[in-house]
Amino acid sequence: MFDLIDRQDVIRMARLARLELSEAEIDQYQQDLAGFVSSGRKLQQVDVSAVEGTSHAVVVTHELRKDEVAESLPQDLVLSTGPDVSDGFFRVPRIVEEQE
C-alpha cells in the first residue's frame, strides 16, 4: 500500500505547505495519504456509465436580486473606517513572501 506515496512525496508536500514534520508524522502522513489514493483508485473502478452527470450533489437554485445602479458611498466615509490610509487607499501589511 505504501508504494503509492513514498516518504519523499510527503516531505515535498510538507515543504510546499511550509510544515515541519517529525519522522513519526512523516510515517503517519505517508500511511494516511496512501490510504486516500487507494480509496480513489477503488472509486475509479465503480461503473457509473448509467449515472447522469451533475455539477452539484444537490439541486442548486440561485436567487438573484435585480442589478440596479445606486449611489456609491463617499470615498472619505469609506476610508474613515480604515486603521491606516494613505493617498486615498487602505494600507495593509505585505503578506507575499519572496521565493527562494
Least Cα distance to 2 among 35, 25, 24 occurs for 35
From CA 18, how far away is CA 5, in angstroms rounded?
Answer: 19
100 band by pLDDT with thresholds 50, 70 and 90: low
Cell digits of residue 9? 512525496
Please tell me the pTM assigned to this model.
0.47
> Length of the chain in residues, anyone?
100
Least Cα distance to 37 among 29, 27, 47 occurs for 29
Residue 95 to residues 2, 6, 79, 84, 92: CA-CA distances in angstroms? 37, 32, 21, 16, 9
2-44 classified as CATH 1.10.20? yes
Give me the pLDDT at residue 57, please.
82
Domain range annotation of the chain:
2-44
